[in-house]
Amino acid sequence: MSPKTGVRDIRWRHCSDSHFCYMKDIKVLAKEKTRIQIRLGGKEPQVGFVVMNSEPGPAVDICHDLEKYPYPIPDNSVDMLVAPDLVEHLNPHNKGFIKFMDECWRILKINGQFLIATPYAGSTAYFQDPTHCNPCNEATWYYFDPMKFDGALYRIYKPKPYRIVKAAWVQSGNMEVLLEKRPMDKSYE
């Protein structure tokens, strides 16, 4: 793990963490695997994904503070992002959650997909963890889709545009949402 970049050297993947890499290796990594799993802690990385985590670990490819932007990932380079049990931990103040969503939009390719799993707002699963600070429910995602409800909620904050592909939830448990990056379009304004 490089102390400067927080990125594991992909050329030395099977060697010790004492080998270092530089930012250019992220571009190589992004070409090899265009799916990224963004995690806040956790020990179970998704096979076939580049793992970005705020905490270093043996399965972490990119160690980066998840609320510091930009991420060390090139624009329009990712086909799929997966964020399991992450968004409920992001600070929503000063548009922090919107900044996170905009950053994920930046690194996704057009039509790239973003799968989010989070406890449903107001559920026991949400309230049981004292670090949960960003509740999300089915209406949360309408703020990111300019084509839902004629863009009324989207135009409040004008974040980067996504399309809601699918959303499923249990009010007493969890929710999953699949978003797709839309291209920028002046008609959304």
The candidate with the shortest Cα–Cα distance to 111, out of 71, 46, 165, is 165
Report how many domains make up the chain: 1
Tell me what pLDDT residue 43 has. 63
173 CB neighbour count, 10 Å cutoff:
12
Q: Domain of residue 106: give its range.
A: 34-188
| Domain presence at residue 1 | no
pLDDT 10s digits, 58-81: 888 889 999 999 999 999 999 999
**What mean pLDDT comes out for the span 88-105?**
96
The candidate with the shortest Cα–Cα distance to 37, out of 128, 88, 104, is 104
| Domain presence at residue 26 | no
Sign of dihedral through CA atoms 94, 77, 86, 114?
positive
Tell me what pLDDT residue 21 has. 29
| Domain presence at residue 150 | yes
Torsion of CA 67, 70, 76, 77, to 10 degrees: -80
pLDDT 10s digits, 7-55: 443 332 322 232 222 233 545 555 555 888 888 766 666 778 888 988 8
| Domain presence at residue 8 | no
Tell me what pLDDT residue 28 has. 56
| Domain presence at residue 13 | no
**What mean pLDDT comes out for the span 126-131?**
95
* More confident: 30 or 167: 167
pLDDT 10s digits, 131-163: 999 999 999 999 999 999 999 999 999 999 999
Chain centroid, CA 144 distance in Å: 14
Chain centroid, CA 4 distance in Å: 22
Tell me what pLDDT residue 135 has. 97
| Domain presence at residue 125 | yes
Residue 130: CATH number of its domain: 3.40.50.150
| Domain presence at residue 42 | yes
In this prediction, residue 4 has a pLDDT band, given cuts at 50, 70 and 90, of very low
Backbone angles phi, psi at 120, to 5 degrees: -65, 135
Q: Which residues pair with 52 in a beta bridge?
A: 38, 62
| Domain presence at residue 47 | yes
